[in-house]
Amino acid sequence: MGPSFIACEREQSLLMPPDVREWLPEDHFAWLVLEAVATMGLELFYAAYRGDGRARPAYEPSMMVALILYAYARGVRSSRRIERACVEDVAYRVLAAQAKPDHATLARFVERHQDALAGVFGGVLGLCAKAGLVGVNVVAVDGSKGLGECEPRGDGRLRAARARGARRGPSGRC
């Protein structure tokens, strides 16, 4: 008697269960993100769109917010990587409800709703702090593009800043 194998039939019409709720385990992080977004007030996102129906249809803002929140929480900030994940990663496909927003659409959404997203991220941190997942005294966000106080530079700016009496880092050295 020969070995027995589980059948591999790629030609079948459905390789995945037809209900997306069956694609991920109940305790998957994506479900937590969807629940959190459902409880948030997203009025600022919806207010940015025309109400007369004359513009090109946009992706549902709650879906886009959930997708971006999940991606950023997983360390994925590139709109091209998020676009690719909407095709290749089951969790992203569930979050996007099988939609596949392209990288330009994702980047424009983040740019257009920058202030509203900042509020959402602040709200998420508040929820995490309430749940005891993070200590708010540990969270730091710095999106500045300027010279950090201890950033090593080969052009002498750090030495010049020290000569002017710039403050040293917490360790006392840069």
Domain ranges of the chain: 20-141, 142-174
Q: What is the mean pLDDT of residues 41-57?
A: 81
* The predicted structure's pLDDT at residue 130: 77
Neighbours of 171 (CB within 10 A): 7
Least confident of 47-51, 57-61, 133-137, 164-168: 164-168
DSSP 21: G
Q: Determine contact, residues 37/65, Cβ cutoff 8 Å.
A: yes
Q: From residue 174, how far is each of 148, 151, 159, 161, 167 by CA, in Å? A: 10, 8, 10, 11, 10
Q: Tell me the average pLDDT across 70-97.
A: 93
State yes or no: pLDDT of 141 exceeds 70.
no
**pTM for the whole thing?**
0.67
Chain-centre distance for alpha carbon 143: 15
- Classify 135 in phi/psi space as left (phi over 0), alpha (psi -120 to 50) or beta: beta
User: Using CA of residue 109, residue 112, residue 117, residue 118, what is the dihedral sign?
Assistant: positive
Q: Provide the pLDDT confidence category of residue 22 given band limits of 50, 70 and 90.
A: confident
Environment class of 10 (CB within 10 Å of its CB; exposed 0-12, middle 13-18, buried 19+): exposed
Q: Average pLDDT of 4-9?
A: 65
CA distance linking residue 174 with residue 161, whole number of Å? 11
Token pair 């089951």 is found at 90
